[in-house]
């Protein structure tokens, strides 16, 4: 089955700790994205990548980092610099090198909370 | 002004009713438009793309009005399973970025 797999489903972070959220897709999509959703709010773009070894900051990149070493994988690290990390994190992908005009397909998300 | 604006609702409708949502967008150069559905505590799922000529998928009809910069979603014969939040999504002509509205919540009741 083709799709996007995010892990873990639930994650708890201690103060001062970096944590990494995994996102893997087998849809052969070029573009991948990370969003954050807070309760009752819309999705906000953290980072996106149009192609391997390249990525761009979204609207709220501070306190986060990403890498795109393989087409299938786009992990997100939530660093200790992100002071309010509690949120629902969603990874998405779309076909085409720019993603323009292409819908995005989502993984089932990771819920991150602070201990 | 927000790039994409939606009435948050909730829209409470009885089963079998017809309900319509509108969404306005600010960037007149926007190229692509979508409706997504998001169930509580789940990921958004693509419901349908919105084409210039309007398009229909079963009980769902989407329309685009470029002159007034809004898109609409019409749901006919509402089912209990249609209860969800409906997200309006716009590509603001910036490569690889979609802008999501905050969603309109629909509750279908018996």
Determine whether the interchain pair B97/A106 forms a contact, defined as Cβ–Cβ distance below 8 Å.
no
> Average of pLDDT values for B74-101?
89
d(CA A67, CA A53): 7
d(CA B31, CA B95): 10
Determine whether the interchain pair B91/A101 forms a contact, defined as Cβ–Cβ distance below 8 Å.
yes
Planar angle of CA A83, A88, A94, nearest 5 degrees:
115
> Average of pLDDT values for A90-109?
83
Joined together, the tokens standing for residue B49 give 């793309």
Whether pLDDT at A98 is above 70: no
Residue A12 vs residue A99, higher pLDDT: A12
Q: Hey, of A100, A108, A109, which one would you mutate to test binding to chain B, going by the most B CBs within 10 A of its CB?
A: A100
Joined together, the tokens standing for residue A12 give 């708890």
Query: In Å, how far is B104's CA from the nearest CA of chain A?
Result: 11
* List of chain B residues whose C-beta atoms are within 8 Å of the C-beta of residue A56: 96
Residue B92: pLDDT band by 50, 70, 90 thresholds? confident
Average pLDDT, chain A: 91
Whether pLDDT at A1 is above 90: no
Average pLDDT, chain B: 93
The answer to whether B24 faces chain A, any CB pair under 8 Å, is no
| B29 burial type by CB count under 10 A (0-12 exposed, 13-18 middle, 19+ buried) | exposed
The answer to whether B32 faces chain A, any CB pair under 8 Å, is yes
Q: CA-CA distances (angstroms) from residue B104 to A21, A42, A62, B39, B70?
A: 29, 11, 29, 11, 14
d(CA B94, CA B99): 10
Residue A21 pairs in a beta bridge with A76
Residue B7: pLDDT band by 50, 70, 90 thresholds? very high
Nearest CA in chain B to A89: B43
The answer to whether A75 faces chain B, any CB pair under 8 Å, is no
d(CA B100, CA B5): 9
User: What is the tens place of the pLDDT at every residue in A47-59?
Assistant: 999 899 999 999 9
CB pairs under 8 A between A and B: 54
The answer to whether B97 faces chain A, any CB pair under 8 Å, is yes
User: What is the tens place of the pLDDT at every residue in A23-32?
Assistant: 999 999 999 9
Q: What H or E segment, with its residue span, contains residue A48?
A: strand A43-51
> Average of pLDDT values for B82-96?
85
> Average of pLDDT values for A83-99?
84
Strands (E), chain B: 4-6, 11-14, 19-25, 32-38, 44-50, 55-57, 60-65, 70-75, 84-91, 99-100, 104-109
């Amino acid at each position: 089955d083709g799709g996007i797999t995010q892990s873990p489903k639930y994650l708890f972070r201690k103060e001062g700790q970096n944590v990494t959220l995994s996102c893997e897709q087998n849809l052969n999509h070029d573009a991948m994205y990370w969003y954050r959703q807070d309760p009752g709010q819309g999705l906000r773009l953290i980072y996106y990548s149009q192609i391997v070894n390249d990525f761009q900051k979204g609207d709220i990149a501070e306190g986060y980092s990403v890498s795109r070493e393989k087409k299938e994988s786009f992990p997100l690290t939530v660093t200790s610099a992100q002071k309010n990390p509690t949120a629902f994190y969603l990874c998405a992908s779309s076909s085409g090198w720019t993603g323009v005009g292409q819908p995005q397909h989502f993984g089932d998300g990771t819920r991150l909370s602070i201990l | 002004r927000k790039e994409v604006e939606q009435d948050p609702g909730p829209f409470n409708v009885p089963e079998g009713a017809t309900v319509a949502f509108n969404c306005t967008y600010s960037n007149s150069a926007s190229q692509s438009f979508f409706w997504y559905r998001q169930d509580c505590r789940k990921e958004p799922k693509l419901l349908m793309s919105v084409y210039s000529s309007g398009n229909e998928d079963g009980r769902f009809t989407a329309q685009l009005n470029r002159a007034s910069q809004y898109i609409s979603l019409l749901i006919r014969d509402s089912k209990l399973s249609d209860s969800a939040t409906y997200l309006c999504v716009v590509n603001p002509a910036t490569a690889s970025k979609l802008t999501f509205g905050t969603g309109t919540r629909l509750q279908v009741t018996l």
